[in-house]
């Protein structure tokens, strides 16, 4: 027989004896967006005083009230505890699968966005600041992998979105200023935009770091001998 998780058993028990309604004070304090990870949001809202969430494309996740401050989210298979001190945040109830790690999701300020959201809103300087902040906290974070950002930039180039490509390559340069590849990619973006002056400048920067960068070497020679 498959084992039923403790949280699932708990949810079955409390569902029949706990009112799912919440107080206005609690609703006002907890409604909003929480930083689920460095570049992802979990949004809490209420419908008829009952808690719901928006997460990963699902805009209507019902959360089961376990107590006045804790709720079970089936999609995560986690009990979420809302803690108001020192400021409102969500903690996941400890369990064996967490390996002793305390998961903590801060409530975001009104108008605050993730780096990706800032980028999509064309608030590029704020996006850059956000990505640098991620790097300062966790240099190995998957959201700031050089390869991934570079690939995203070339996707923009493929779609004829040169402005977005240039801005994502700017971020990659700020994150990895010692990488020849990021300058080479920026040069490709300017070349696609037919801005040969900047293309030559960035190919030159790429070659200054790595003289054996084949793409930069070939493109630079071609542009400077035409």
Q: Are residues 120 and 220 in the same domain?
A: yes
Q: Are 207 and 213 in contact, with CB atoms under 8 Å apart? A: yes
* Domain endpoint, select from 106, 124, 143: 106
Q: Are residues 91 and 119 in the same domain?
A: no
154 in the Ramachandran plot: left (φ > 0), alpha (ψ -120 to 50) or beta?
Answer: alpha
What is the tens place of the pLDDT at every residue in 136-164?
999 999 999 999 999 999 999 999 999 99
What is the tens place of the pLDDT at every residue in 49-82?
999 999 999 999 999 999 999 999 999 999 999 9
In whole angstroms, give the CA distance from residue 193 to residue 156: 12
Cis, bond preceding 86 (omega within 30 deg of 0): yes
What is the tens place of the pLDDT at every residue in 77-134?
999 999 999 999 999 999 999 999 999 999 999 999 999 999 999 999 999 999 999 9
* Domain endpoint, select from 71, 106, 141: 106
In whole angstroms, give the CA distance from residue 161 to residue 156: 5
Q: Are residues 43 and 143 in the same domain?
A: no
Residue 193 lies in a domain: yes
Q: Are residues 202 and 181 in the same domain?
A: yes
Confidence of residue 11 (pLDDT cuts 50, 70, 90): low
* Domain endpoint, select from 42, 72, 106: 106
Chain centroid to CA 53: 17
Number of domains in the chain: 2
Give the domain extent around 209.
Answer: 115-225
Within 10 A of 174 (CB to CB), how many other CB atoms are there? 14
Q: What is the pLDDT of residue 19?
A: 81
């Amino acid at each position: 027989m498959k084992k039923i998780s403790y949280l699932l058993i708990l949810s079955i028990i409390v569902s029949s004896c706990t009112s799912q309604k919440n107080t206005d004070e609690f609703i006002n304090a907890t409604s909003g967006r929480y930083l689920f990870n460095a570049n992802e949001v979990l949004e809490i809202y209420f419908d008829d005083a009952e808690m719901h969430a928006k997460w990963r494309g699902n805009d209507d996740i019902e959360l089961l009230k376990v107590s006045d401050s804790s709720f079970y989210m089936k999609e995560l298979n986690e009990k979420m505890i809302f803690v108001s001190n020192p400021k409102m945040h969500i903690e996941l109830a400890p369990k064996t699968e967490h390996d002793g790690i305390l998961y903590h999701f801060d409530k975001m300020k009104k108008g605050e966005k993730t780096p990706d959201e800032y980028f999509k809103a064309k608030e590029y300087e704020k996006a850059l600041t956000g990505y640098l902040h991620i790097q300062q906290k966790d240099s190995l974070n998957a959201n700031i992998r050089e390869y991934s950002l570079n690939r995203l930039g070339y996707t923009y180039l493929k779609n004829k979105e040169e402005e977005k490509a240039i801005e994502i390559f700017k971020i990659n340069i700020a994150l990895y200023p010692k990488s020849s590849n990021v300058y080479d990619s920026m040069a490709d973006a300017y070349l696609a935009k037919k801005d040969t002056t900047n293309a030559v400048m960035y190919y030159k920067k790429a070659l200054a770091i790595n003289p054996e960068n084949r793409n930069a070497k070939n493109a630079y020679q071609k542009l400077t001998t035409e």
